[in-house]
Structure 1
Amino acid sequence: MQMRVSTASRYSQTALEAPAAVSVVTAEDIRVFGYRHLGEVLASMRGLYVSYDRSYHYLGLRGFATPGDYNTRVLLLVNGVRFNDNLYDLAAIGTDFPIDLDLVERVEFVPGPGSAVYGANALFGVINVITRNGRDLSGPQVSAEAGSHGAARLRFSLGTVDRHGGDWLVALTRSTTRGADHYYPSFDTPATHHGMAQGLDHDRSTQLFARWSRDGLGLTLAHGERHKGVPTAAFSQVFNDARSRITDTSTRLAAEYATDLSPRLSFSGRIHAGRYRFVGDYVYDYPPVTLNHDVSTGQWWGTEWQWVSTALARHKLSWGMDYRRDASIRQRNFDAEAQSMPYLDTQRSGHALGVFVQDEFALRPDITLHAGVRWGRQSGNAGAWHPRLGLVYWWNPHTALKVLHGTAFRAANAYERDYRVDIPGGVVDTAPIRPERVRTTELALEHATGGSTRLLVTVFRSVVKDLITLADAPVPDRLTFQNARGVHVHGLEAEAEQRFGPQARLRAVYGWQRARDAATQAALTNSPEHLLKLQWSDALPGTAGSPWAASRYAVEAVGMGPRYTLQGRRLPAHVVTNLTVSMRWAQVDASFGIYNLLDRRYADPASFEIREEAIRQNGRTYRVKLTYRF
């Protein structure tokens, strides 16, 4: 219950000590509840919800989920290394995330602005995915699964420790889904098979992950490729054309080193590099019917240094710097038959630099002040200072009251700045785009005993200025990026977790948030006021003392209040219930999951580039999974 976390301050501390209300999902939670991708992990956390438009999964944070935003307002880390690309600032949380969940030790989420610690993109929160070590897998593993709509996955992994103490983990995963046919009322004509998109929801991905570590040194490789059909005819495409698809390819390399320079001074440093490539095959009827290619590639490298000192009495001082070089960002759009006459061909480079310092100052044995500030600058934008303050009052050894305040910013990314294509469904220019900024204040009361109980209540208020949004342009059938009016968000969250013995656990989470346009007081699109999440897990009856003693069953219910679409339609509230049974015997793990157990019909609001108001989600689906440990 007092788990150690590393994301809130960039060094290890207990969740009670951290200047944030941190959420954590462990590898055991992932196994017991049968989560299939990172988006499902995040959807189980306090204040978060996920939408899906049959192309990407989008993360909503405390009632804020702007249509057309590729998760740019949350910073995604893997083992502390930035995973947002330098093209779209995309935080991949669906099948495009390049790491198999079986390789994840835990996922930490820190809500609120994190720019004082991490810089850009940490507008509403920071996600840190911590991967497992080779010794955790202890040898070769083979995992296979099958499910509804032709879903199948095969993973081979090897985890070991060599005779020199080096920890090795290598894994290769291949996934495929045929997908279901989908009905879209806006395209209901005889010429379009009465609105049925047939065979276009397929999803095929490959993931390669390798990690080696020894004596504070670590090397990591993560590579992912995903090919996804687009059944929605997004961006004004011809409906139900089998050539409509998108491809995401990403590669990340990282080297890190951590050591104690003295008993009171530690150092950690990283060097990382990445490449992301997006290819969109879009079918338009200009006329004639033409295949259009949208190709974007980004390459970057960076470094991070941090020192942590406890040399001064009652102070834990940390300081450091981050630098990222955007070596190349290129965006192209052209018709397949006329590559020499592109609609768009832009290329740029740039950099981002930040320096930070923070202090954890024990004012009294029961009061700790967390104060930090960061100066950061990105190409094309002026430098800016971003402070963070946190006061933690220890009511008793198991209860802490936290007062938190911080600011954050996000400058327009390369896609928002440069992507201008004057074709149907394209983006045209209007006015210069200013960086968006947020200021958040939060009060949290957190209680965690050593073993069985955890309680948390938090209230918060955020003010967002110059929000960057995708909107309809004055030109018909065109879109544009612009700075919208300010947004005010305030709310309350409560979480309770109770363990009953070694196996049984009950967890309940409720969130109320109110996100409004500052000028009109109108509710934001895709912004539910209420979120309710219930989880119960326990040992399978009759397995105590048997070889199946580690077997569990788990029930999870995720409820979401009504949401508005861009056209003002109010989508009804819904509750989705999942049931998972996981069994473990000797070297074999088996899991059976039923998702949307009660077959509820519900839909997520669509973005501007999709003709439909809402995208209907899957009904009841199944998954069977087997893992053998050699």
Structure 2
Amino acid sequence: MQMEVRTASRYTQTALEAPAVMSVVTAEDIRLFGYRNLAEVLDSMRGLYVSYDRTYHYLGLRGFASPGDYDTRVLLLVNGVRFNDNVYDQAAIGTDFPLDLDLVDRVEFAPGPGSAVYGANAFFGVVNVITRDGRQLAGPRVSTEIGSHGSAQLRFSVGTVDDAGRDWLVSATRLSARGADPYYAAYDTPANNHGVAQGLDFLRSTQLFARMHREGLTLTMAHGERDKGMPTAAFSQVFNDPRSRLSDTSTRVAAEYTSQWQPSLAFTGRLHAGRYRYVGNYVYDYPPLTVNRDEGTGQWWGAEGQWVSTALARHKLSWGLDYRRDTGITQRNADIDPPASYLQARRKGDMLGVYLQDEFALRADLTLHAGLRWDKQTGSQSAVHPRLGLVYWWNPATAVKLLHGTAYRPPNAYERDYRVDLPGGVVDTAALHSERVRTTELALEHAPSGATRMLLTAFHSHVSNLITLADADRPDRVTINNTRRVHVEGIEAEVEQRWSGGSRVRVAYGWQKARDLAAQADLTNSPRHLLKVQWADAVKLPFGADWPQGHYAIEGIGIGPRNTLQNIRLPGHLLTNLTYSTRFGGVDVSVGVYNLFNRRHADPASFEIRDNLVWQDGRTYRVKLTYGF
């Protein structure tokens, strides 16, 4: 309950000490509850919810999940290194996330503005995925799983420590799925297969990961490739055409060096580089019937330096700089046959950020966290963002936190440059300005032992210059503009208890109200109520004396009613997942049933989808076997 976290301040501290109300999901949680991707991990956390449009997963944070936003308002890190691409600023949290969850040690989430520490995109929160070491896997492992809709996955990994003391982790994962045949009421005609998209929900992906650690040096490589069908006929496509598909390819490499320069001064330096490429094949009947190819490619490299000093009594100072060079961002749009080009956009740029933080012990029971960061990004004005936090220790197990901070998000390359006057294209976009948010939060955390944790928090946020996607004046076109101001307020509560025999329970509830001030209406896809309930315990099934003891885990995820873009009230729902895991004959066995009671439920659709909502899967299954040599 009082594990150490890194994300709130960019250095290690306990969850009670951190100037944030942290959420953490560990490798044990991932195994016990049978999470299949990062989106499901985040969906289990307090105050978060996930939507899925059969192509990408989108993260809702404290009542905010703007349609058309590619998860640009959350910063995604892996081992502290930025994973948002530089074309769309997208945080890939679904099947496009290039890392197998079996390699994850824990996932940390720090809610609230984080620009004073991390700069752009740390708007509503920061997600940090921390990977395992090779010694934790201890040898070669093979894992295979099968599930509903023809899904099958195979992973091979090796973790070891060589004679020179180098810790190695190498892994490869291959996943394929036939997918469902979803129904869309907007296309329910005989010519459109009565609204059923057949064979277009498929998925194929490959993930490669390698990590080497020795003393203060860590080298990391992550590569992911994904091919995904588009059953929704998004962006005004011809419905149910088998050529409608997209691919995502991303590669990240990073080198990190840590050193204790003096007893009171530590240094961390990083070099990192990445490449992201998106290719979408969109089928249109202008006429003639043709395939339109949409491409976005980004390349970048960056450097970071951070120093943490405890030389001054009662102060823990940290300062550093972040630099990123966008060596190339290219966006293209063209018809294949007959050939026609509609977009050729290229840009380069830089980002520089400098920050300073102070953790000042005003008294033995009162700590002030103060931070300030200056950022400058090509094409946007410079920005200065502060953070203030007071942590009062009511007693050694109880902390009261008063937190205030601001954040910003400059328009990304897609929002700045993508202009295509075709069905589904973007037109009439004016000059864009950076979004800004200001948040104040009051929290009470109580952790009387390593087995108990309770939390209560209230927050208020004000968002200005919100960049939104909206219908344009011309049919089948959309536009991007700074059009809205939003107030968000809410309360969250969480209780967790664990017992020595392996039993555990966690209940989290969130109430939030996100209002568009101009329209005096609730935001689209913004539920007032969120409920997360987990229960896990050890159990011995009656299959004979030789059958080992296992664990079952039940998770309930409830989401309240939400508005769609057409202002239709979508009913709330409660989904139940059940997972049983055990070890038999040296093989780890996990059996999961998702949406156990086969609830019919849907998520609001975005502007590019003709239907008002996107129906989600009913009851699905997964069986997973893992063997270590």
Shorter-chain TM-score category? over 0.9
Counterpart residue number, 1:391: 390
- Alignment partner of 2:525: what SS? coil
1:220-619 paired onto structure 2 within 5 Å: 220-339=220-339, 341-541=340-540, 551-585=550-584, 587-619=586-618
Which deviates more, 423-432 or 193-202?
A: 423-432
| Residue 519 of structure 1, CA deviation | 2.5
- What TM-score comes out, normalization by structure 1 length? 0.99
Residue in 2 aligned with 1:49?
49
SS in 2 for 1:321: strand
Assess if the C-alpha contact under 8 Å between 1:356 and 1:373 holds in 2: yes
Q: How many Å apart are 1:475 and its aligned residue?
A: 1.3
Cα gap change, 1:338 to 1:326, in 2 (>3 Å): farther
Q: Secondary structure at the match of 1:520?
A: coil
Q: TM-score, normalised by structure 2?
A: 0.99
Q: CA deviation at 1:473?
A: 0.6
Partners of 1:109 and 1:468 lie apart in 2 by 24
Could you report, residue by residue, the CA deviation over 1:46-87 in whole angstroms, capped at 9, with x for unpaired residues? 100000000100000000000000000000000000000000
Deviation at 1:540, TM superposition (A): 1.4
Q: Match of 1:484, SS?
A: strand
Cα distance between partner residues in 1 of 2:57 and 2:547: 36
Cα separation, 1, equivalents of 2:202 and 2:575: 23
Q: Which residue of 1 aligns with 2:102?
A: 102
**Cα contact 1:467–1:484 (8 A) shared by 2:** yes
* C-alpha distance in structure 2 between counterparts of 1:465 and 1:406, whole Å: 14
Q: Which residue of 1 aligns with 2:210?
A: 210
Partner residue in 2 for 1:35: 35
The yes-or-no answer on 1:68 pairing with 2:71 is: no
Deviation per residue, 1:308-336 (Å, 9 max, x gap): 00000000000000000000000000011
Residue identity in the other structure for 1:193:
N
Kept after mapping to 2: 8 A contact 1:309/1:316: yes
* Contact persistence 1:492–1:513 (CA under 8 A): yes
How far apart are 1:501 and its partner, in Å? 2.0
Q: Which amino acid aligns with 2:182?
A: H
| Contact 1:9–1:18 (8 Å) recurs in 2 | yes
1:2–1:449: 8 Å Cα contact kept in structure 2?
Answer: no
* Contact 1:431/1:482 (<8 A) preserved: yes
Task: Indicate the SS of the match to 1:465.
Answer: strand
Shift of the 358–547 alpha-carbon distance from structure 1 to 2, 3 Å rule, reads farther
Confirm whether residue 82 of structure 1 aligns to residue 82 of structure 2: yes
Q: Is the Cα–Cα contact under 8 Å of residues 458 and 492 in structure 2 kept in the other structure?
A: yes
Question: CA separation in 2, counterparts of 1:584 and 1:329?
Answer: 48
1:31 is matched by which residue type in structure 2?
R
Deviations 1:142-173 (A, max 9, x none): 00000000010000000000011100000000
CA–CA distance in structure 1, aligned partners of residues 128 and 307 of structure 2: 20
Per the TM alignment, residue 100 of structure 1 is displaced from its structure 2 partner at its CA by 0.1
**Per-residue deviation, 1:181:** 0.8
Mapped to 2, the partners of 1:405 and 1:582 lie a distance apart of: 42
| Residue 130 (structure 1) aligned with residue 133 (structure 2) | no
Counterpart of 1:621 in structure 2 is 620
Amino acid in the other structure paired with 2:436: R
Alpha-carbon separation, structure 1, partners of 2:74 and 2:11: 20
Q: CA deviation at 1:587?
A: 2.9
The code of the aligned residue for 1:427 comes to: V
Quote how far apart the aligned CAs of 1:550 are: 6.3
2:219 aligned with 1:219, yes or no? Answer: yes
Number of the residue aligned with 1:112: 112
- 1:548–1:584 CA contact under 8 A, matched in 2: no
The answer to whether the 8 A contact 1:539-1:549 is kept is no
Q: Does the CA contact (< 8 Å) of 2:275 and 2:299 recur in 1? A: yes
Q: 1:20 corresponds to which letter in structure 2?
A: A
1:502: Cα distance to partner?
A: 3.5
* SS at 2:426 equivalent: coil
Query: Offset of 1:384 from its aligned partner?
Result: 1.3
Q: Distance in 2 between matches of 1:453 and 1:518?
A: 40
Shift of 1:534: 0.3
Q: Could you tell me how far apart the structure 2 residues matched to 1:586 and 1:483 are?
A: 60
Give per-residue Cα distances to partners, 1:338-357, cap 9 Å, x unaligned.
Answer: 55x41000100001100000
One-letter amino acid matched to 1:367: L
- The alpha-carbon deviation at position 585 of structure 1 amounts to 3.8
| Residue aligning to 2:177 | 177
RMSD between superposed Cα atoms in Å: 1.3
Residue aligning to 2:9:
9
Indicate conservation of the 8 Å contact 2:334/2:341, yes or no.
yes
Offset at 1:542? Answer: 6.2
| Contact residue 540 and residue 548 of structure 2 kept, 8 A | no
Letter in 2 for 1:600: R
Aligned to 2:164: 164
**Cα deviations by residue, 1:557-597 (Å, 9 ceiling, x for unpaired):** 00000000000110001000000001124631000000000
Structure 1 segments unaligned to the other structure (5+ residues): none
* 1:485 match: secondary structure: strand
Contact 2:541–2:549 under 8 Å retained in 1: no
CA deviation string 1:515-565 (max 9, x = no partner): 00122320000000000010000111369xx88766210000000000000
Q: Is the 8 A contact 2:317 2:357 kept in 1?
A: yes
Letter in 2 for 1:138: A
Paired residue type of 1:197: A
Task: Find out whether 1:142 has 2:136 as its counterpart.
Answer: no
Q: Partner amino acid for 1:233?
A: A
Q: Could you tell me how far 1:381 is from its partner in structure 2?
A: 1.1
Distance in 1 (alpha carbons) for counterparts of 2:284 and 2:518: 38
The alignment partner of 1:337 has SS state of coil
Asked if structure 1 preserves the Cα contact closer than 8 Å seen for 2:115 and 2:122, the reply is yes
| 8 A Cα contact 1:547 1:585, kept in partner | no
What residue number does 1:20 align with? 20
Q: Distance in 1 between matches of 2:424 and 2:577?
A: 37
What is the match of residue 189 of structure 2?
189
CA distance in 2, matches of 1:622, 1:185: 26
Q: Tell me if the contact between 2:540 and 2:550 (Cα under 8 Å) persists in the aligned partners.
A: no
Q: Which amino acid aligns with 1:495?
A: E
% same residue: 70
Q: Deviations over 1:255-311 (max 9, x none)?
A: 000010011000000000000000000000000110110011000000110000000
Contact 2:540 2:547 in 1 (8 A): no
Change (3 A) 1:548 1:116: farther
Q: CA 1:547 to 1:495, structure 2 compared with 1: closer, same or farther past 3 Å? A: farther
Does the 8 Å contact 1:298/1:330 carry over to 2? yes
Structure 2 letter corresponding to 1:614:
L
Distance 2:456 2:272 in 1: 37
Q: 1:338 to 1:287 in 2, by over 3 A?
A: closer
- Matched residue of 1:325: which SS? strand
Task: Report the Cα offset of residue 229 of structure 1.
Answer: 0.2
For the residues of structure 2 that align with 1:68 and 1:150, how far apart are their CA atoms?
29
How far does the alpha carbon of each residue in 1:460-486 deviate from its partner, in whole angstroms, 9 at most, with x for none?
000000100111011111011011220
Q: What is the distance in 2 between the residues matched to 1:452 and 1:5?
A: 17
Q: Partner letter of residue 296 of structure 1?
A: G
